[in-house]
Structure 1
Amino acid sequence: MELDFVRRLGPPKDVTASNSSIRPVIVGLTTERRKFEILRNSNKLKDSKIYIHQDLTDEAREMKRNLVKQMKEERAKGNWVVIRQNKLVPAENKRQNKRALSESPTSAATEVEVNTKRTLTQSHISDFLSQSPSNTEAPKNAV
């Protein structure tokens, strides 16, 4: 792990006290890649008593709280929206960066061809098997 620092928040409590509270920990990482990897895997701790969240400023926390409130209101109306880069975005635009499928130039220019080949039926198979082999001798270079 690319740890930069680890700090415990809040004043230290008496360890022997029975009502000692749990103190949160702030972890600083050297790369954002590792931070996103940890945040992405944080859902694996869902049923435990460990929570991993991004450390936000008071202003950013308030903005996110308002966005979540607006998102819940929109979803109650039936509009499925998600939060992306501090904005509410409709879910259908979520994958807008994908390239649209294009048609092949040959299939677009020509119409669909009808299959004129004979379909394989039991009578065709029996006709094929009843034919006498035209070349019954073994190949000359066979061992």
Structure 2
Amino acid sequence: MGAYIAQIWGWDEDVQRGFHTRAFSPGRWQIITVDSADAGMLHVERRHTEIYLARIELHPDYQGRGIGSRLIHSLLQQARRRGQDLTLDVLAVNQRAHALYRRMGLHEVARHGENDIKIRMSTKPPLRGPSHGS
């Protein structure tokens, strides 16, 4: 995520270490392992009305292998079984992830954050405005 963070806010090592020290909660995060190696992390919140993918990160050495797709597909199946939507937020500059989520059937439902830097995506279809046809 470093390249995206630097692109949006610039990189300050001390700020990033402080952020991660405050935000890190090992009880919520799962380590993604591939062939006994730590490959990334996952944080999923199972809420009353939805499954929220709070974070998924894969080390660049493990990206492009279908690992993220398999994890998201599993969450999509869980959401369907529970009669819920899968929802997540993605940084607008992360076009690769945004494209993956669209291919997997998620839709943009909102933009938020300072200067709309985040895109909320969900399996719930986006709301359509009123039709102005005759």
- TM-score after normalising by structure 1: 0.24
| Bigger relative contact order, structure 1 or 2 (CA pairs below 8 A, ≥6 apart) | 2
Q: Which has the larger radius of gyration?
A: 1
Structure having the higher strand fraction is 2
